């Protein structure tokens, strides 16, 4: 089972390194420009599709095996999914880079077919296992929203190519963003955290009640936001979705606190702590977004505000959580693959020896500090600060990617 998740994770790390190198080579100039231009589309999709989604898919294949104690329905289908999704993503990025709308439409369709195969593979696995709990329900919901995200993106791609529904472009754009960021990433992270946090903290006997509350609120958030954007509802409907998201994040923070209180391990490691701290920061960001929506509704929807909150959510929570969990997932995968069969036969390193925890802490701290400076720069519209902090974020991210990749040499 090692090879399938490894393919996704290795490809995702390569895309993450490419994203960092590309941003660094441009001195982060693209960040200072409006995001809805080809260079912005390229970098955003390289980060979201090439890195975060690729990593998440690999993690699902691996972690679902741990949760269910059953193999995935079809490994062969997983490899077909990997091939189609990878080719589709590469072609889509090339279309953005070259400004070829026909490429965007065709390769978006190919990537979406790969996503559908992923949904079928995981869906059949979950149905056959018949173990329904906050983890498996969140996994199923997140993948459903991933399919819908891809479908909205596919419609946008064909609309770019053939100008079929110009009046629907804005509706599809915001629905596409909401379903992907809040639905796919949000549900997947919260769902698997219900398993991983107790595991890393050695917490036992934690009630699932709050996990079900998180699941319910998060789904309500996704559906309310998607309905508001898709129907072009009045602004209060969007504010209600932001309010639901804030409640869901607070409930998720309550559950993480319950897990920490039940822990039998003092520290779960720097990466897991970063994921927990980023969740606390997300509650602050959502509270600020809700206040901004209520008291300055006309400014909360302008491009700069959306970009700032987008960076805070995608980098400040999604990216830092994924990076933090990778510091545990990759050493586990590699140690199990390389040293597991040799246990008891010869002297082998401990899993903790594969990755120095203090270096993980340094890398994530530098990344977080650079992100804070970047958000300040975006808020002040200070091009110099944006360029320097964006370059610092790229450098710290590249250092962390190399640190994680070094595990495979141990």
The yes-or-no verdict on residue 164 having pLDDT over 70 is yes
Cα 230 to Cα 395: distance, rounded to the nearest angstrom:
38
Q: Decide: 181 and 148 in contact? Cβ < 8 Å.
A: no
3-state secondary structure of 234: coil
Tokens of 112: 């979406």
Task: Output the average pLDDT for the chain.
Answer: 92
pLDDT score recorded for residue 359: 95
pLDDT digits (tens, 9 = 90+) for 30-44: 888 877 788 888 999
Contacts of 388 (CB under 8 A, 6+ apart): 28, 373, 377
What is each CA distance from 113 to 106, 110, 226, 400, in whole angstroms? Answer: 11, 5, 22, 32
Q: Which has the closest alpha carbon to 325: 273, 271, 277?
A: 271
The yes-or-no verdict on residue 61 having pLDDT over 90 is yes
Q: Could you tell me the sign of the dihedral formed by the alpha carbons of 158, 159, 165, 171, in that order?
A: positive
Q: Could you tell me the sign of the dihedral formed by the alpha carbons of 64, 315, 9, 109, in that order?
A: positive
pLDDT score recorded for residue 346: 82
Cβ neighbours, 10 Å, residue 380: 10
Q: What DSSP character marks residue 204?
A: -
The yes-or-no verdict on residue 355 having pLDDT over 90 is yes
Cα 221 to Cα 216: distance, rounded to the nearest angstrom:
9
Structural element, H or E, at residue 128 = helix 101-129
The yes-or-no verdict on residue 27 having pLDDT over 80 is no
Cα 347 to Cα 134: distance, rounded to the nearest angstrom:
39
What is each CA distance from 57 to 120, 136, 322, 401, in whole angstroms? Answer: 13, 14, 12, 18
pLDDT digits (tens, 9 = 90+) for 98-157: 888 788 888 999 999 999 999 999 999 999 999 999 999 999 999 999 999 999 988 887
| pLDDT winner (highest mean) among 149-163, 243-257, 283-297 | 243-257
Q: Decide: 237 and 227 in contact? Cβ < 8 Å.
A: yes
Q: Is 374 exposed, middle or buried (0-12, 13-18, 19+ CB in 10 A)?
A: buried
Phi/psi of residue 11, nearest 5 degrees: -65, -40
Q: What is the DSSP string of 332-376?
A: HHHHHHHTGGGTTTS----GGGGS-HHHHHHHHHHHHHHHHHHHH
Kindly report the pTM of this predicted structure: 0.94
pLDDT score recorded for residue 302: 79
Cβ neighbours, 10 Å, residue 96: 23
Tokens of 262: 């039940």
Q: Which of 279-293, 345-359, 360-374 shows the lowest mean pLDDT across its residues?
A: 345-359
In the block, which residue shows the tokens 């890195």? Answer: 51
CA geometry: angle at 226 spanning 120 and 171, to 5°?
110
pLDDT digits (tens, 9 = 90+) for 170-181: 889 999 999 999
pLDDT score recorded for residue 270: 95
Q: Which of 96-105, 308-317, 363-372 shows the lowest mean pLDDT across its residues?
A: 96-105
Q: What is the DSSP string of 281-317?
A: HHHHHHHHHHHHHHH-HHHHTSHHHHHHHHHHHIIII
The yes-or-no verdict on residue 1 having pLDDT over 70 is no
Q: Decide: 275 and 324 in contact? Cβ < 8 Å.
A: yes
* % helix, strand, coil for the chain, step of 5: 85, 0, 15
């Amino acid at each position: 089972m090692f090879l399938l998740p490894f393919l996704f994770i290795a490809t995702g790390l390569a895309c993450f390194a490419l994203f960092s190198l590309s941003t660094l080579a441009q001195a982060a100039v693209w960040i200072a420009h409006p995001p809805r231009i080809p260079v912005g589309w390229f970098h955003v999709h390289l980060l979201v599709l090439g890195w975060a989604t690729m990593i998440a898919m690999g993690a699902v294949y691996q972690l679902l095996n741990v949760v269910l104690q059953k193999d995935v329905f079809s490994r062969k289908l997983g490899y077909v999914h990997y091939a189609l999704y990878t080719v589709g993503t590469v072609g889509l990025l090339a279309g953005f880079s070259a400004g070829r709308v026909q490429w965007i439409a065709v390769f978006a369709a190919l990537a979406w077919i790969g996503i559908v195969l992923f949904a079928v593979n995981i869906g059949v696995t979950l149905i056959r296992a018949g173990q329904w709990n906050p983890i498996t329900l969140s996994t199923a919901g997140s993948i459903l929203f991933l399919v819908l995200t891809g479908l909205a993106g596919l419609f946008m791609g064909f609309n770019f190519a053939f100008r079929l529904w110009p009046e629907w472009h804005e509706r599809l754009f915001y629905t596409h963003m909401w379903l992907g960021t809040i639905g796919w990433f949000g549900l997947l992270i919260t769902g698997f955290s219900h398993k991983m946090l107790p595991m890393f903290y050695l917490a036992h006997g934690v009630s699932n009640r709050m996990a079900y509350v998180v699941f319910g609120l998060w789904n309500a958030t996704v559906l309310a936001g998607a309905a508001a954007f898709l129907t072009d509802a009045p602004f209060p409907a969007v504010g209600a979705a932001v309010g639901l998201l804030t409640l869901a994040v607070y409930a998720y923070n309550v559950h993480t606190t319950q897990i920490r209180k039940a822990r039998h391990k003092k520290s779960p490691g720097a990466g897991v702590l970063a994921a927990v701290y980023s969740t606390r920061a997300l509650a602050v960001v959502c509270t600020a977004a809700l206040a901004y929506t209520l008291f300055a509704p006309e400014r909360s929807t302008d491009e700069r505000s959306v970009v700032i909150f987008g960076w805070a959510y995608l980098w400040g929570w999604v990216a830092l959580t994924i990076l933090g969990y990778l510091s545990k997932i990759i050493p586990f995968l590699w140690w199990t693959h390389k040293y597991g069969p040799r246990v008891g036969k010869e002297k082998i390193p401990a899993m903790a020896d594969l990755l120095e925890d203090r270096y993980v802490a340094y890398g994530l701290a530098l990344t977080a500090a650079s992100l804070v400076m970047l958000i300040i720069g975006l808020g002040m519209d200070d091009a110099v600060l944006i360029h320097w902090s964006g370059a610092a974020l790229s450098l710290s991210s590249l250092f962390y990617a190399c640190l994680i990749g070094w595990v495979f040499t141990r």
